[in-house]
Amino acid sequence: MHGVHIHPLSCSIIVEMVTVGLTFISALVGWSATAALTAYAQRRPSVAAIAWLVAAFGVTLGLSAAVIGVLFDFGELTFRLLHIGVSLIGPLFMAWGALEYAVRSPNARFTARLFVTALTVVPLVVLSVDRISGRFGTAFPPLGDHYDLIPRSLVNGVQGFVAIILVLAVIAVARRGSRGSGMTDLSVLGLVVLAVLLCVVVGRMGLGSLGPLLMLGAISSLWGAAALVAKPRRDLYDDDDYYDDEYDDEDDELDDEPQEEPVRRKRRNADTYDDLYADAPAPPPSKLRGVITIYTLAEGQGGGFDQLANAVVAEVAKREPDTLLFAAHIVPSAPLQRIVYAIYRDELAQEEHEQQPHVVEFTRRLTAHVVATNVIELSLSGAAANDGLAAMLMPR
C-alpha cells in the first residue's frame, strides 16, 4: 500500500484558510469586546474602563486591518495599523488601565498619566510616518522585520514602561492582601497581564497562523478582566450573613421566652384615630426624589473620603437650593462603610445636582478611596419631620 501524499501547495492553502478564519474571528470578537467595554464605561465611568476601551479599540482596528492583510497580502497601511494597535496602543492602555484600577495613590496615577500621554503621541507619529522596508506576505509580519531602529527603540521603551506599571499594579494589590476584593483584583490583573504578554509576543514574532489565535486569547483575556470588574461586588449591606450574624443571638433569646400577645399602647381618642386611618385616602404622588448611596472604602481611606464628603456637603448647602437634604454618615459598626443620602425637590433638581462641578469633582476623586458603590433611588410616598431638621443638617 502506498502512503497518502499531500501536495505542499494544498498544505499552504489550508494554512492560509485557517489563518484567514482565525483572524476574522479575532476581529469579530474584538468588536464584540469593544462594544461590551463601551457599555461598561458608560455604566460605571472610570479612567481604567476608558483605558481598556481604548486598548480594545486599538487592537481590534489592527486585527481588522490584518483581515485584509491575510486575504490580499499585507501592505504598508495594514502593517502600520496592525502594529499601532497590537504593539503600541493595546499593551500601553491595557497596562495603564490596570494601574488605574489597582493603585490608589493620586501621585502615582498622575505620573503614569504624564508618561502615557508622551508614550502615546510620539511613538504613534513615528509608527505612522517612518519608512518601512522589506516584502510582505499573508502571515502576520513581525515589527522588527520592517521598521528601522528608531520605531523599534520607541516600541521597546513603551513595552518596558508597560512591564514596570504592571509590576507596580500587582504589588499594590498584593500588599492589600486577600481582604475584601483582593482575590478578584489579582484575577483581573492576571488576565490583563496575559493579554499584554500575548500582544507583545505576536507583535515581535508574528508567528504565522498562530498569531491570530494568540490575539484571540489576548482580546478574550481583556474582555474577561473587564467582566470581572463589572460584576457587582458584595459588601456588608449585600451579604445576608451580616444581618444573620448580628441578630441570630437576639432572635434565639426571644424564641426561648414565652410569647405574649402584643400590647397596644393606650391613646386618647383611639376610636377617632381608627376612623382616620380606615378612611384615609391614598397619598398623592410626590415629585420629591431621594437617593441613598452606600460606599465601601479601601483600607485606610476613611479620612480621605470624609474630607471629600465634608467639602461637597458644604458646596451643596451653599449652591443648591433645590437639594432639600444632603447628608453624609459614618457607620460605627462598619468602619469601611459610608452612607450618603439626598432628597431633591423634583427630578430636574436631581439632574442639576449631578451636573454641578463640585459633584463631578467629588465623583472623580472617589476612585482613590472607594472599592464599591451601591446606589438606591427613592420616590417619596410619605414623611414626617420636625421643622428644625433641615436647619440642623444643612445650615444655609
pLDDT of the residue at 138: 84
Instruction: Give the Å distances, CA to CA, from 164 to 65, 99, 117.
Output: 30, 10, 16
Residue 283 has pLDDT above 90, yes or no: no
Identify the residue with better confidence: 101 or 268.
101
Identify the residue with better confidence: 253 or 285.
285
Q: Dihedral through CA 56, CA 361, CA 300, CA 43, nearest 10?
A: -40
The grid coordinates listed for 325 are 437634604
Confidence of residue 390 (pLDDT cuts 50, 70, 90): low
Specify whether the CB–CB gap between 57 and 34 falls below 8 A. yes
Residue 168 has pLDDT above 80, yes or no: yes
Residue 391 has pLDDT above 50, yes or no: yes
Residue 205 has pLDDT above 80, yes or no: yes
Residue 158 has pLDDT above 90, yes or no: yes
Q: Which residue has the cell 468588536?
A: 31
Q: Where in the chain is the domain with CATH 3.30.70.100?
A: 289-393
Mean pLDDT throughout 80-92?
Answer: 95
Mean pLDDT throughout 335-349?
Answer: 88
Buried/exposed code over 122-143 (b: 16+ C-beta within 10 A; e: otherwise): ebbebbeebebeeebebbbbbb
Bridge-based pairing state of the strands 289-297 and 370-379: antiparallel
How many residues does the structure list for the chain?
Answer: 396
pLDDT of the residue at 173: 86
pLDDT of the residue at 174: 85
pLDDT of the residue at 302: 87
d(CA 100, CA 112): 9
Q: How far is CA 358 from the centre of its chain?
A: 22
Specify whether the CB–CB gap between 313 and 349 falls below 8 A. no
Identify the residue with better confidence: 372 or 245.
372
pLDDT of the residue at 388: 59
Specify whether the CB–CB gap between 365 and 352 falls below 8 A. no
pLDDT of the residue at 230: 78
Residue 177 has pLDDT above 90, yes or no: no
Identify the residue with better confidence: 132 or 276.
132
| pTM metric for this prediction | 0.59
Q: Which residue has the cell 473587564?
A: 226
Q: For the range 126-129, what are the long-range contacts, defined as Cβ-Cβ under 8 Å and sequence gap of 24 or more?
A: 126/150, 126/151, 126/154, 127/80, 127/83, 127/84, 127/88, 127/151, 127/154, 127/155, 128/80, 128/84
Confidence of residue 45 (pLDDT cuts 50, 70, 90): confident
Which range (77-91, 214-228, 254-268, 366-380) has the least confidence? 254-268
Mean pLDDT throughout 286-293?
Answer: 82
Q: Which residue has the cell 472607594?
A: 370
CATH class for the domain made up of 8-230: mainly alpha
pLDDT of the residue at 385: 61
Which range (54-63, 244-253, 267-276) has the least confidence? 244-253
Mean pLDDT throughout 271-292?
Answer: 61
Mean pLDDT throughout 301-312?
Answer: 90
Mean pLDDT throughout 344-364?
Answer: 87
pLDDT of the residue at 182: 62
pLDDT of the residue at 11: 66
Nearest to 116 by CA among 46, 164, 76: 164
Q: Which CATH number fits domain 289-393: 3.30.70.100, 3.40.50.720, 3.90.650.10, 3.40.50.2000?
A: 3.30.70.100
pLDDT of the residue at 267: 43
Identify the residue with better confidence: 86 or 14.
86
pLDDT of the residue at 374: 87
Which range (151-165, 250-264, 269-283, 336-350) has the least confidence? 250-264
pLDDT per residue as tens digits for the range 112-157: 999 999 999 999 999 999 999 888 888 899 999 999 999 999 999 9
Tell me the Cα Rg of the chain: 29
Identify the residue with better confidence: 149 or 287.
149
Residue 250 has pLDDT above 70, yes or no: no
Q: Where in the chain is the domain with CATH 1.20.1070.10?
A: 8-230
Mean confidence (pLDDT) of the chain: 81
